[in-house]
Structure 1
Amino acid sequence: MSFGTHREVGDVKYREAQYNATLTAAAEGFAIGSAATLGAGYLLRQRPLIQRLPLAIRTSLVVSGGVMLGVIYADKAGIAFDNMHYDDKGAKVVRRKETLLEQEWNQLSTFDKGLTYAKENRFKVVIGSWLASMGISWLYIQTQPLSTAQKIVQARVWAQGLTVASMIGMAAITTIPSAGDKYLENQKNEARSSWEQIVDQSQKSDYAGTARAAFASHAQELKDSATKVADDIKNSASKATDELKAKVDSN
């Protein structure tokens, strides 16, 4: 988001703060991504494939890694900024739930955190292990006296074997009980319970508003009735006084 483009939308100070937070996160992501790709390029600098690449291509690869991670960081920072500054009932309930989950997460041990992360992101772990096994097996096979076709076949076989092993290991990990299981259960129920609480609070608010309106209406009716009775009594007393005065005058 460009602050210059969107400065007319919404509160200017809010947009400035959001833009600054997004820009800071983008710079952080760019630095991390560039450092990672630069480090990977340095480790692979002796590879013939890397050496044959022109300097412009190698530079673009490093920059692309930084840009991609910078965009991801900026997007997440913008969303997080908006979530932190919502002030409606739903946002307050969600933030309270997130705070409780964060406290519960911080109380877990390092082992439980790792086990919980693996359970929560098991598909990512399997895919990551497949990619890592492909890369490691390819680097190892590159040192063997084989043709390119044989190397590709060997790398695929090794990757498939390691992937199957990782899937079996992940299936075993998911059966290990840990303190993080309660955290995962609470996290899964967070959205549902948050919406239920929001609806419950809204209903209570509506009931309270209806009760206040009914009480005010009833109080007004009582006031009107009392005023009418007082007026009737006053008129009756005035009429009786006039009749008594008329009788006295006639006598």
Structure 2
Amino acid sequence: MKLVTQEELKEFDAVTRDGGIKGLALGLGTSVPLSLYLQRYSPRYQRLPVPLKAFGVVMLTSATTVIWAERAGLQYDKRRYSSSLYSEEEKTRIAENEKAKAQRLSIGEKATNFVNENKYSVIVGSWAASMVGAWAYISRDKLQTVSQRIVQVRVFAQGVTLAMIIGTALLSQKERQERKEHPPVDHSWMNQMRQKPEDATVQKVTTA
């Protein structure tokens, strides 16, 4: 098992932070102009209270920040740990096997894999989508005040988020169980032996 060094932890933190900053910039660059546009041209948006408008900006910005930070961290892990162990031929073989395996998966299995690989993005995206959808639905009730609508939207979004967290936890548990029952075969040692043939000679002499 490879131990993570302090340098690698710092690199991971830096990469994740950079991804989060990019997501923050994207979120602000999208949500603020959109809010200003709606404030100018949408009478319904103009009637909304300022805290609710600010909440919309924060919601979109938070979602993009988390998603970009997560993706940056995943790409770093893949580049740092997965790719460095294999030769180019081995990488090509693994990519072809993964592609063939993906083609055999059902729609449900593909969806499960996507959720497992993008847990935080799915949770934050579901939370944001539930907030928007719930607000659009509850706004049809003209008898409720804005405060009452906000409370209902928040409760609904919290329920959806809790359900998504439980669902992703169950999927992660299922994936760990499957990996335990069917562990992947690691051929990286073959590449390391080819790169360092003297190690193989030493091993033979030692075990002779």
Instruction: Tell which has more relative contact order, 1 or 2 (C-alpha 8 A, sep 6+).
Output: 2
TM range (shorter): 0.3 to 0.5
Q: TM-score, normalised by structure 1?
A: 0.38
**Normalized against structure 2, the TM-score is what?**
0.43
Rg (Cα) greater in structure: 1
